[in-house]
Amino acid sequence: MTDVFSKAPFVRSFDKVTLITGGSKGIGKGCARVFAAAGAKVVICARGREAGEALAAEITAKGPGTCHFEPCDVSKTEQIQAVIDKTVALHGRLDCLINNAARFAVGKSIDASSLEEFQSMLQTNLMAYFAACKYALPHLRKTRGSIINMGSVVGAFGTWHSVMYNTTKGGIHALTKSLAIDEAESGVRVNAVLPGNIVTDAREKLEDSLPDATAFHAWAAAGRWRRPAWPVCFWPATPLHSSRASSCC
């Protein structure tokens, strides 16, 4: 990790107070590691206290940055507001918000999906992003900070029997572009990262649930489902997005 930042002095030791939703697993976990390795003061939030506290302790021990865990269910907007307030109380400011927490369901057509399921997914995957942006922006305007929303390539081109999840990701892309325009005058940068085939625990559990799990694992590993990547493979890009250096990109 150190070698990565030795070639990127604009993000090395950049001391950003960064809040990451869904930061205890998968992509959020990878982001937390990379930001702390760059020197950030990271706060991760998630529902699972045990995993979150263990990761925070591990990251802080490695340094040079720090990591603190706060429990939060992002489907409850009042908890999002509370974790933002606690982050500011802990560190005195907020420089970067990474909206990452999400749930997904694939393999379900619109006929097999209920309105209640879709509403629940919208609440976690889109409303939570909107709420986090709304509550974080008063603090981010003071620091001329940044928001990084975790979108997905499937929100741009769609995939088979994933209509609910893909719709929420498309909504995140629209939210990001609109908010970037609105907040330009306040100096807050708003970007989205669109991951593709990322190997996370959630994706592996999904694959294991498929009828032909062994064949699918082999098919995906061979690169037939695009080239797979791991959560820390390209996340050196996320500190760049949160850095003032990104204003020239």
Instruction: Give the residue numbers marked as catalytic.
Output: 165
Count the neighbouring beta carbons within 10 Å of the beta carbon of residue 78: 9
Phi-psi region of 227 (alpha: psi -120 to 50; beta: other; left: phi over 0): beta
SS (H, E, C) 130-188: HHHHHHHHHHHHHHCCEEEEECCCHHHHCCCCEHHHHHHHHHHHHHHHHHHHHHHHHCC
The span from the CA of 165 to the CA of 62, in Å, is 35
Q: Is 216 exposed, middle or buried (0-12, 13-18, 19+ CB in 10 A)?
A: middle
Task: Give the DSSP H/E element, type plus range, for residue 18.
Answer: strand 17-21
Task: Give the DSSP H/E element, type plus range, for residue 28.
Answer: helix 26-37
Q: What is the DSSP letter of 233?
A: S
Report how far apart, in Å, the C-alpha atoms of 189 and of each of 83, 109, 121, 192 are.
Answer: 21, 36, 26, 10
